[in-house]
Amino acid sequence: MRIFDPHIHMSSRTTDDYERMVAAGVRAVVEPAFWLGQPRTSVGSFVDYFDSLVGWEPFRASQFGVRHFATVALNPKEANDPRCREVVGDVVPRFLDKDSVVAVGEVGYDSMTPAEDEVFAEQLALAVEYELPALVHTPHRDKVRGVQRSLAVVAESGLPPGRVVVDHLNEVTVGLVRDTGCWLGFSIYPETKMSPARMVEILRSSGVERVLVNSAADWGRSDPLLTRATGEAMLAAGFSTDQVDQVLWRNPVEFYAQSGRFDPADLDAPADPAGEPPDSTYAGSSIARGGA
């Protein structure tokens, strides 16, 4: 089973997670820009964070043979902090030119405030300008209204729906997105959002086309192996190995390849972006500890 996790916050995971993921079949990941967990104190913290998404984290992933890509944006939660707003105009565009950035995201709604409306529209305009896909975060509260508003903003943006994934869907909202032309994203969590069993039932009714299944796996209670668990649940439910490969590999490859930032054929080769040995360093740092 080969797995491309299209939404996982590896900055909050350990090297043990990388080892387990590789053993489970994970070969590539996309890490969306995320909120800090506490209020940021300056725009400069975004610069360092985005630098890590295109620098240190791809290096760390490569040491385990995992291809690491990123999406960059001011996320919806932080869009409500006026200290963060200038990052959209001054910082985000600088990183959208980076080779490993494959989409604008996460964008969308948290509390559906006027500030979120403005930032969402501004960043979809950046996706149009930079000819990148967009990863849309749907709110955890009042989800139906949030998905409806998200789809309306996407329609107004001029971004082709085939270049948009609407994430964190569930049984209640999947029908709102299914016929729009957008991709359908599902996060598999131990307690919240979706479970492998629930995901299988959605796949039975909706099919496997334009579906992206991710683990999200942030610093809350989460599991970076739930993509694998979903594939195993699909097989147990009678789905074919080809259908599992479509959901866990070919679909995310197809969606993010629209960025033009990677050749899908290259993903089968082990990750080694600099051609350096496993004990190499990035900016003078290594994942190794101890030694002489």
**pLDDT tens digits for the chain (292 residues)?**
999 999 999 998 888 999 999 999 999 999 999 988 888 888 889 999 999 999 999 999 999 999 999 999 999 999 999 888 888 998 999 999 999 999 999 999 999 999 999 999 999 999 999 999 999 999 988 999 999 999 999 999 999 999 999 999 999 999 999 999 999 999 998 776 789 999 999 999 999 999 999 998 887 778 999 999 999 999 999 999 999 999 999 999 999 999 999 999 988 776 654 455 556 887 777 787 654 3
Which residues make Cβ contacts (< 8 Å) with residue 23, sequence separation at least 6? Answer: none
As given in the structure block, the two tokens for residue 106 are 């996460």
Q: Residue 37: which region, alpha, beta or left (left: phi > 0; alpha: psi -120 to 50)?
A: left
Beta bridge partners of 164: 134
CA distances from 175 to 170, 183, 246 (A): 9, 12, 21
Starting at the edge strand that comes first in sequence, how are the strands of the sheet with 211-214 ordered?
A: 3-5, 26-32, 67-72, 101-108, 134-137, 164-166, 183-187, 211-214
Contact 40, 46 (CB under 8 A): yes
**Cβ-based neighbour number of residue 113 at 10 Å:** 13
Contact 68, 100 (CB under 8 A): yes
CATH number of the domain located at residue range(s) 3-262 in this protein: 3.20.20.140
- Helix, strand, or coil (residue 96): helix
Taking the C-alpha atoms of residue 229 and residue 240, their distance in angstroms, rounded to an integer, is 15
276-291: pLDDT as tens digits = 555 688 777 778 765 4
As given in the structure block, the two tokens for residue 249 are 């590999």
Dump the DSSP string for 223-262: -TTHHHHHHHHHHHTT--HHHHHIIIIIHHHHHHHTTSSS
As given in the structure block, the two tokens for residue 64 are 């385990």
H helix or E strand, kind and range, residue 124: helix 114-130
223-255: pLDDT as tens digits = 999 999 999 999 999 999 999 999 999 999 999
CA distances from 283 to 13, 90, 118, 214 (A): 21, 25, 37, 30
pTM across the whole model? 0.93
Name the residue ranges covered by the structural domains of the chain.
3-262
Q: Residue 78: which region, alpha, beta or left (left: phi > 0; alpha: psi -120 to 50)?
A: alpha
